[in-house]
Structure 1
Amino acid sequence: MGMSVTISAAAAQDAEHILKLQYLCYQSEAELYGDYGIEPLTQSLDDLRAEIAQGHALVARLGDEVVASVRGRVDEGGTARIAKLIVHPRMQRHGLGGRLLDAIEEHFAGEPAAKRFQLFTGHRSESNLRLYRSRGYVPVSSEQVGPRLALVTLEKEAAARACVASA
């Protein structure tokens, strides 16, 4: 293969690439739930840029190509809200999603305000749920947001990351 995937902070010029990748990656979720109006498929470039500016975003690159991304922010209560973990379909099942999740947790663990990590996914998104559980996340709530979609919120304490890393 020759090239390795690198993870770094997203730059302003990455926003368009992230949005295109997001659109590609959320097609399977839209199909699974029968809803092509989900927010990741309708988000505008300006909204994405604002979201990145208000928090932190990472990208994974294979050469010059953005093949994965994740973003989040720490709220006033100390919760690092992690969102939109996306991996190009051809790059899935190689551990890249887990690497990105670890990297964004590490970033937010460095901020004194991050007391816990929280994310959400659809109730039928089994591969997402499996990944999050394997990283120590536990379901804390579920909210019905449409006739076919319930969002499952999962979280873990920030200190749990340090314990897992030292084990």
Structure 2
Amino acid sequence: MATIERATKEDANVILEIQKLAYISEAELYNDYDIMPLKEDIETAVRSFEKNVVLKYFNEDGKIVGSVRAFGENGDCHINKLMVHPEYQNQGIGRKLMEEIEKYFNHVTFKLFTGSRSTKNIALYEKLGYKGYKTEKLDIEDTVFLFMEK
């Protein structure tokens, strides 16, 4: 049976591998393979556990195939790095991870951003009740992001 659990630093390597596979499709949308999720190194991934709640999704075979992380700050919950291994996408795993991460935070405004051309991601977030409120390019890369909240 598939399950979602809180990840530990020991899971960082596997999660980073999934991240690099999952974000290739984002890089292809923009023809930019220099996006931040593809450049993240293991030290940064491990450090993310200090600030974030990191969840992992196990498939029926006990293999980690998805993850999401989030942190709370000033009444907001910032959700980031939702990822599902490409072989397991379009099976509801991303939705389940989002629903589960939201349970860790109470009485907050949930915030996230995704590439403005990422129509599948935007559709998922809209189904979960998120609404876009601005588009903006960040200093870290050339992608124009859609910022969403719920």
TM-based fold match above 0.5: yes
In percent, how many aligned pairs have the same letter? 37
Unaligned 5+ residue runs, structure 2?
none
CA separation in 1, counterparts of 2:142 and 2:12?
Answer: 30
In the other structure, the counterpart of 1:165 is: none
Q: Which of 103, 121, 126 is matched with 1:128 structurally?
A: 121
How far apart are 1:91 and its partner, in Å?
A: 1.1
Residue 68 (structure 2) pairs with residue 70 (structure 1): yes
Counterpart residue type for residue 66 of structure 1: I
Counterpart residue type for residue 104 of structure 2: H
Residue 146 (structure 2) pairs with residue 152 (structure 1): yes
Confirm or deny: 8 A CA contact 2:116 2:145 kept in the other structure: yes
Counterpart residue type for residue 25 of structure 2: S
CA separation in 2, counterparts of 1:14 and 1:148?
Answer: 30
Structure 1 range deviating more: 59-68 or 122-131: 59-68
In the other structure, the counterpart of 1:100 is: 97
Considering only aligned residues, what root-mean-square deviation do their CA atoms show, in Å? 1.5
Residue 31 (structure 2) pairs with residue 34 (structure 1): yes
Counterpart residue type for residue 41 of structure 2: S
What SS does the aligned partner of 1:108 have?
Answer: coil
Residue 19 (structure 2) pairs with residue 22 (structure 1): yes
CA separation in 2, counterparts of 1:133 and 1:27?
Answer: 22
Q: How many residues align?
A: 148
TM-score (norm 2): 0.93
TM-score (norm 1): 0.84
How far apart are 1:149 and its partner, in Å?
A: 2.4
Residue 67 (structure 2) pairs with residue 61 (structure 1): no
Unaligned 5+ residue runs, structure 1?
157-167
Structure 1 range deviating more: 28-37 or 146-155: 146-155
Bigger relative contact order, structure 1 or 2, given CA contacts below 8 A and separation 6+? 2
Larger radius of gyration: 1
How far apart are 1:148 and its partner, in Å?
A: 6.1
